[in-house]
Amino acid sequence: MADRPRTLASALDRCLKEFPVTTVIGLRQSGKTTLVRRASEARAYVTLDDLGALAAARRDPEGFLAGLPRPVTIDEVQRVPELLLAIKREVDRRPRPGRFLLTGSARIEFRKGVSETLAGRAALLRMRPMTWAEAAGNGDWNPVDELLACRSAADAASRFARGPAFEGARVLGGGLPVPLLRRAGAARTRWFEQYRSAYVERDVPPIVQVDAVAAFVRFLTLAAVRTAQTTNHASLARETGLSADTGLRWFGALEATFLADLVPPYWRNLGKRLVKAPKLHFGDAGLAAHMMGVHDWRGALRQQIAGPLLETLVAQHLLVFSETARRPTALFHYRAHAGAEVDFVLSRGPRLVPVEVKLSSTVRSSDVRGMASFLDDFGSVAPFGVVLYSGAEAVPVSRGIVALPMTAVLEGA
């Protein structure tokens, strides 16, 4: 597989120069190991996927750590969270930058409250699924910075004038590097089946202390069906036949293991009744499709889930771009009880850019009524809105709203 520079690489290099401990967390097979192994050839490396290393670390965390050279990279550290206490003691004695580089496929703080263990000593970076820009070798591309630099819809149309042809089947590849770059058709299906068996059914339950694996997989599958929707733990628990308390715990487990993200609502007191529930997006669009039993684009279109899968793919892209932007940027969704809805709202300081995702290759003014309502309410800080669509050229839709080629935004103009 050809080398693809990742957007997170520059942030990782910076953190290694500034913090004693840097931790890269994210969904399994998202590229964490490849990223950290390229960070520095001079670092020692050990993975707790190795059964011998895992047994030694569990038997004697202090002794295991003492026997490793410095600086060192420890992969999949969530398997032995006791190592973090030993790391804390060492960096308290010798707080030199770059001593430890850790990776994990679960939020380390999810178990035993160890988020406090390395507070103030560690940088925490999130590795998300690969973007289309990264897959194209354009890891420095960040359309969020570009959009927030625009002052009008015409300016956005000029910056994203044209893009490559949109191929819906690419959505089913998601953003995990192997199925995105190397697998298609039946080979991709087999890869996702192995991923589900090895990670979702074997590795995740012990991490989040789940005993009923079959029920957890049903819960996860329902979450995949609900991708790109506002939802909560109670409704998922009810449909899976679980108690509300179990549903709440498992809902947290989805976030803890990066199998789902919750995009919060944008809310300001405008005298309107607004939906304040988060919108759930599955951790990877390709894995979501596989969990739903969808393996080809025609099937996704026929079952009317192509739109939600595309929106989830865009959500993962916008999260990558927001988290690596030049200035702090947040991602929200917007929905009013009266019906006005916007898929995403980019927020930086007082500036807002509403973003809609449309699967079609044409966009009419009737398709953007929710965005028009949003611009009416927030026009002083949101001078324009954009629709990401499957067409190849930027076109005006209505006053202050422009349709941009999705590929130009996600891959790089």
Distance CA 252, CA 229 (A): 17
> What CATH number is given for 9-127 in this structure?
3.40.50.300
Name the residue type at position 379.
Answer: G
Q: What is the mean pLDDT of residues 44-53?
A: 94
Beta bridge partners of 281: 261
pLDDT tens digits along 97-155:
999 999 998 876 554 444 566 767 788 999 999 999 999 999 999 999 999 999 999 99
Beta bridge partners of 21: 100, 122
Beta bridge partners of 75: 47
Distance CA 52, CA 54 (A): 5
Segments of the chain assigned to CATH 3.40.50.300: 9-127
Distance CA 32, CA 213 (A): 26
Please say if the pLDDT value at position 311 is more than 90. Answer: yes
The percent of residues above 90 in pLDDT, for the chain, comes to: 69
Mean pLDDT of the residues in the chain: 90
Instruction: Determine how many CB atoms are found less than 10 A away from the CB of residue 119.
Output: 10
Distance CA 255, CA 253 (A): 5
Q: What is the mean pLDDT of residues 79-91?
A: 90
Crossing angle of the two packed helices 213-225 and 244-256, in degrees rounded to 10: 70
Instruction: Determine how many CB atoms are found less than 10 A away from the CB of residue 82.
Output: 17
pLDDT tens digits along 181-234:
987 788 999 999 999 998 888 888 887 778 788 888 999 999 999 999 988 888
**Cα pseudo-dihedral 161, 164, 170, 176, rounded to 10:** -70
With b meaning 16 or more CB within 10 Å and e meaning fewer, what string describes 101-111?
bbbbbbbbbbe
pLDDT given for residue 202 in this prediction: 84
